[in-house]
Amino acid sequence: DQQVKQNSPSLSVQEGRISILNCDYTNSMFDYFLWYKKYPAEGPTFLISISSIKDKNEDGRFTVFLNKSAKHLSLHIVPSQPGDSAVYFCAAPVNGELTFGTGTRLTIIP
Amino acid sequence: NAGVTQTPKFRVLKTGQSMTLLCAQDMNHEYMYWYRQDPGMGLRLIHYSVGEGTTAKGEVPDGYNVSRLKKQNFLLGLESAAPSQTSVYFCASSQTSGGANEQFFGPGTRLTVL
C-alpha cells in the first residue's frame, strides 16, 4: 500500500512561472517529509524538508507547504528555471526507512 | 570528498548469473541502504544496514543478499539473476535514522538481465 503518493507523473511549466508539485500521504504518524530532486543518470539529491509541526518551510526559490488535515504537501518553485527540469520525489521516514512517492517529472519550457 | 560511489555503473547479465554491486561512502555514516528504481514505482528499499556487521530487510529483499563488513562499504549481491531484477540500483547513506533522515545517494548502477 503506497503511503506516499504523487498522482501527477509529469508537469510542464513556462520558465519564470511557479511550479507546484503535489504529494499526498496516508500515514498521519509521519514526523517529517522530504523532497528529492533527480536528474537523468544521477542519484537523487536532497532538496528540502519539513517537520510535521510546521506548515511551511522556505529555502530560496523552494517552499514546501504542509496541510496536515488534508494529508497533503506541496513543493513550490518560484521562479522556475530550466535547471529545475528533473524528477521530484516526495518521501517520508518511518521506522528508520524512507518511503518514496513515484515521482513527478517537471519540465521547464524556455 | 567523493560522497557515495557505486561500481559498476552499467552491467548486463544473463539469467542465472551472479554479481555483486559495491557501494562506498566516505562520510563516516552509520546507515547505508540499497534501493531499486523501476518505471512508475519510485524507489523501493531492498536492504539496509544500521552499522558495521548488521543488515536488515527492506520492502523488496527477495533475490538479493547484502553484507557490511566495513563501515564504509555496503555490498549487494545477486546470486542467480532474473529478468525481473532489471532495474537501476541506488545506494544511499545517512548519519542517523531519526529526524528527517536525510540520505545521500550514489549515482546508480543500471543492470539489465537478459
Among B43, B91, B94, most A C-beta atoms within 10 A, so best to mutate, is B43
Cβ of A102 within 8 Å of Cβ of B44? The answer is: no
Out of B42, B50, B99, name the one closest to residue A100 (CB).
B42
DSSP track, A35-50: EEEE-TTS--EEEEEE
**pLDDT (tens digit, 9 = 90+) per residue, A18-28?**
999 999 999 88
**pLDDT (tens digit, 9 = 90+) per residue, B7-66?**
999 999 999 999 999 999 999 999 999 999 998 888 999 999 999 999 999 999 999 999
Nine cell digits for residue B85: 531484477
Cβ of A96 within 8 Å of Cβ of B31? The answer is: yes
Residue of B nearest to A8 (CA): B40
Q: Does A42 touch chain B (CB under 8 A)?
A: yes
The answer to whether A66 and A33 have CB atoms below 8 angstroms apart is yes
In chain A, residues with a C-beta closer than 8 Å to the C-beta of B58 are 97
Largest CA distance in chain A: 42
Q: Does A100 touch chain B (CB under 8 A)?
A: yes
How many Cα atoms sit within 13 Å of B35 on the Cβ side?
A: 23
In the numeric block, the cell 529545475 is attached to: A84
**pLDDT (tens digit, 9 = 90+) per residue, A28-48?**
889 999 999 999 999 999 999
Per-residue model confidence (pLDDT) at position B70: 95
Residue of B nearest to A41 (CA): B107
User: In terms of Cα–Cα distance, which of B77, B79, B73 is closest to B16?
Assistant: B79
Q: Does A105 touch chain B (CB under 8 A)?
A: no
